[in-house]
Amino acid sequence: MEIIDISLPLSEETPTYKGRKEKKPRLERIRTLSQGANETRLTLETHTGTHVDAPLHMLSPANSIDQLPLSSFLGPALVVEIRGVEAIAAEHLSPFQQFLSPQQFLILKTDNSFSDLSRENFVYLTVSGASYLAQQGAKGVGIDSLGIERDQPGHPTHRLLLEKGILIFEGLYLREVEPGFYYFLSFPLKIKEGDGSPTRAVLFRM
């Protein structure tokens, strides 16, 4: 069994959504070995780096990250590669219709995997694409950008997916991942009343 790490490393150099500096992780060494042990203070937003959006991120009332069962964060997954497209719509997803299932994650590998993740014009999922997935069903959707949409007014893509219980995983590192079927696992931190959480996302090739 092959384990593929699809998480971004966390450091003060971690790319952020549209390059926003206020979202940068901060690491501060607060103790050293001369004081008994190395210890670091990490200051991190819940939506920086590889992370998952809880329904509470965009909906109210809604489940926070700690209220979701652990079974929400693992299961079979299909990685699809959609290149040369800036906005993923229903027409780009329909060729995979026979493989979509409410019990399976859909992971989108796009041109983002080969570009600067901090850029503003990243590849995103449109409202029509989100509507299509909401109709067809998916356990969750992952993408190789730090946001699944570009600050569209009202965040309709987020809302359409989360209202249907489709979790959103952002910031996946997919450059070396081949399209195909995998087992996906991306556990969050148990943050009380959290609207999302950093995760360590992996794929298993069975």
Per-residue burial over 93-112, b = 16 or more CB atoms within 10 Å of its CB, e = otherwise: beeeeeebeeebbbbbbbbb
Cis omega (within 30 of 0) for bond into 55? no
Half-sphere exposure of 110 (CA within 13 A, CB side): 29
Kindly report the length of the chain: 206
Catalytic residue check, 57: yes
- Cβ–Cβ < 8 Å for 175, 113: yes
Give the C-alpha distances (Å, rounded to integers) separating 74 from 3, 23, 51, 157, 164.
14, 27, 14, 22, 17
* Set 57, 92, 155, 158: catalytic member: 57
Half-sphere exposure of 54 (CA within 13 A, CB side): 26
Kindly report the number of other CB atoms within 10 A of residue 141's CB atom.
Answer: 24
Kindly list the catalytic residues.
57
